[in-house]
Amino acid sequence: MTTAKDLFIIAIDLKRSVGQGDLSLALAGAELIDLIDAGAVAVDGDRIVPGQPPTLDDRFMDEAAAGLTRQAPYERIEDWLWRRGRDLSAAYQAALEKNGELKPQRSGRLSFGTERVEPADTPARRRAADRWKEKEPVLAALASVVGIDDERSDDDAGLDDEAVTTVVAAVHDAVMELEAVRQRRTIENTAFANLWRGP
């Protein structure tokens, strides 16, 4: 189990409305934090410095490690989040559905309602729920960044590792940047629609 998988399960389990882009960035951050914990990377300022390849039995972690830039000046954390995070939420969903860890759930009483998914009752779901119940600092901090846990303030994050704190801050900045892009597009689309409507 990885922090990213736990975060994805919690996001689905709590049925909070989280943008796929926001969640994808947070998942990329969670993967990077797990790579730090595994000793596979270190953080130097805002750069990701690769170490030894991790010995983690996880396809996504292997992909994340294989995608690291291994030549100086190395990749900036924010750039890696955007690159690695592209469609990452959808990839996690597809993998968990394939493994039977997500099951279809129909919203509403009508059988032709929009199909959604929910976590199946698996050891992975119980482990994620336990970490969430214990308010494990990294999981809680990443969840807070994407608005899953709005009762927790940033001051309560409880992160005691500088590299992890740097990654969480980079995820926060990337999510804010994505929101700014969304707002700008909304304003542009509204202005365009008003232009065609005329006075």
Give tens-digit pLDDT for 138-162.
999 999 999 887 555 444 456 889 9
Residue 61 gets which letter from DSSP? H
CA-to-CA dists, residue 39 to 49, 63, 65, 110, 147, angstroms = 11, 16, 11, 50, 29
**CB under 8 Å to 23, separation ≥6 — which residues?**
7, 8, 11, 89, 146
Of 127, 157, 133, 128, which is closest to residue 144 (Cα–Cα)? 157
pLDDT in tens, 105-119: 755 544 444 457 889
Predicted TM-score (pTM) of the model is 0.85
The residue type of 169 is A
pLDDT in tens, 35-93: 999 999 999 999 999 998 777 789 999 999 999 999 999 999 999 999 999 999 999 99
> Long-range contacts of range 158-162, CB-CB < 8 Å, 24 or more positions apart?
161/36, 162/43
Percent share of the chain, pLDDT over 70: 85
pLDDT band at 198 (very low <50, low <70, confident <90, very high): low
Note the pLDDT of residue 114.
Answer: 43
